[in-house]
Structure 1
Amino acid sequence: MLRPDLSGRTALVTGSATGVGRELVFALADRGASTAVHYRTSDEAAAATAETARERGAPDATTVQADVADPDDVEAMFEAVEADLGTVDVLVNNVGPFAPDHWEDLSYEEWNTVLQANVNGTYLCCKRALPGMRDQSWGRIVNVGYASAEKGLMSPKNAPYFIAKQGVLMFTRMLAADTRDDGITANAVSPYVVENSDEFPDDLPRGRPASFEDIAQAVLFFLDEDSGYISGENVEVDGGWLPESV
């Protein structure tokens, strides 16, 4: 795997108590970053992730609780990370709940929760991270999307998730343009089915889901010092998947 040197950097990965986010924390810790493990309700899992991050090479690791769709929570989260670890140099917006039911069967609260966490959570965290990154003329933002979202993927099931991930990609490209003179890059990594998914379709590309390492490889590419000219891009980690509906 790529081994960018993240010594002296502070990384915040949202939704990182378990799953993909946890593995991204470990990948960053392996490369010397101090890491902030964000959670909303999984406090014990977050503490365990932070402990493992320290064992794997993070100079320090902390846990932070927040609802990323709440502006006050996001402000408190960044203040806590800055107090414990310093300015956030690397932000990975990994939080991304979905709603697999038919859109007509979703309550307004279910629909809105998906949109708020995916789109507004990404917006709020990016907005709060930018001043510190601009002050030091360096920053890396990676937003987690969904494979084929930019191709207009849509389905009556999980509709708010598809809508939200298209919004995340649009926001990422706007952010890249808006920060092009600030030493900051903003990119997206968009998986399809991941190894910890609840269900696996019969036609998985290459006969398997994406591994955590596959996703980490794409994220680490964007974090590398030599990738500083690459911004506004989206890497689909999907094994070459192309849905029939697109």
Structure 2
Amino acid sequence: MSASRVALVTGASRGLGREIAVALASSAGAVLVHYFRNRRGAEATARAVRRAGAESDVLQADITVEKEARGLIAAVEKGRGRLDILVNNVGPILFRPWDELTAADWESMFRQNLLGAYFCLSEALPGMRARRFGRIVNLGFGRVEQLAAFPTVLPYAAAKTGLLLLTRTAAAECRGTGVTVNMVSPGLLEGGIRPAGARVPRRELGTYAEVAAAVRFLAAEEARRVTGTDILVAGTWKM
């Protein structure tokens, strides 16, 4: 990855987003940290990025609102002159029995897990295409390709399935432009959210660092022929 590249990681104020931002810092010139409410956490991530060798700033936006999401990308383009790597990490999960779901639950999950990524991706693509380089990585869900029953996380799983379709469609539309679009789908993670009372063998738990390594690979110059794919970082949990 070139030291002149500019990366943006959404939802990077803590957890997996922070790990991804720091992983990209070792070889990108600047890694910008997006947050919604947790500015203190975002600033901590930015400090960690700088310690890892890259420049960093924090940027606030509610990416579920189209104007704000597009404004976020525009701010990066204006402030840094380019955006080379976009990691759509925002994607909270909701645990709720399917027969207790409300319309608001569905809308919230789709706005946060699918529409926000679409707004950012579609705003970033014109500049990437013009520069003949771009890496977009969307964060998925370790069982998304199974199309199985998910009675306690139905809106989340449905939104992530839509995100996979968006990933593959965008990849196809970007053929020959120097822009790749991929997904990384984690399984259960140490420190991640799980259903109350769930007992998961420790061997089934992945780490933020493992997921971040997959993202870093897809963001690299050498991954130019990898596009439209979903890298599962889920161990046997997906099986």
TM (norm. structure 1) is: 0.91
CA distance, structure 1, for counterparts of residue 192 and residue 70 of structure 2:
31
Return the letter of the residue paired with 1:134: R
Give, in whole Å, the separation in 2 of the partners of 1:98 and 1:127.
23
Alpha-carbon separation, structure 1, partners of 2:218 and 2:128: 16
Q: Is the 8 A contact 1:62 1:81 kept in 2?
A: no
Q: Which secondary structure does the structure 1 equivalent of 2:167 belong to?
A: helix
Q: Does 1:156 align with 2:137?
A: no
Q: Is the 8 A contact 1:37 1:61 kept in 2?
A: yes
Shift of 1:33: 3.2
Secondary structure, aligned partner of 1:61: coil
Match of 1:94 in 2: 89
3-state SS of paired residue (1:185): strand
The gaps in structure 1 that reach 5 residues or longer are none
- Deviation of the 1:214 alpha carbon: 0.7
Contact preservation (8 Å) 1:99, 1:114:
yes
Alignment correspondent of 1:239? 235
Instruction: Give, in whole Å, the separation in 2 of the partners of 1:51 and 1:190.
Output: 27
Instruction: Give the 3-state SS of the residue equivalent to 1:88 in structure 2.
Output: coil
Aligned-partner SS, 2:57? strand
Distance 1:198 1:134 in 2: 36
Q: Distance in 1 between matches of 2:213 and 2:45?
A: 19
CA distance in 2, matches of 1:6, 1:17: 24
**1:99, 1:111 within 8 Å by CA — same for their partners in 2?**
no
Structure 2 CA distance for aligned equivalents of residues 227 and 178 of structure 1:
18
Q: Report how far residue 203 of structure 1 moved.
A: 4.5
1:43 aligns with 2:34: no
* Distance in 1 between residues matched to 2:234 and 2:221, nearest whole Å: 25
- The number of aligned residues is 237
Name whichever of 206-215 and 189-198 sits farther off: 206-215
- Identity among equivalent pairs (%): 37
Q: Which residue of 2 aligns with 1:54?
A: 50
SS at match of 1:141: strand
Counterpart pick for 1:33 among 29, 33, 42: 29
Across the aligned residues of Structure 1 and Structure 2, the Cα RMSD in angstroms comes to 1.6
Report the alpha carbon displacement of residue 186 of structure 1 after superposing the two structures with TM.
Answer: 0.5
The whole-number CA distance in structure 2 between the counterparts of 1:225 and 1:104 is: 46
**Structure 2 residue ranges without an equivalent (≥5):** none
Matches within 5 A, 1:73-222: 73-199=68-194, 201-204=198-201, 207-222=203-218
How far does the alpha carbon of each residue in 1:156-186 deviate from its partner, in whole angstroms, 9 at most, with x for none? Answer: 2110000001101111011110001110001
CA–CA distance in 1 between the matches of 2:187 and 2:153? 14
CA contact (8 A) 1:74 1:125 kept: yes
SS of the residue 2:212 aligns to: helix
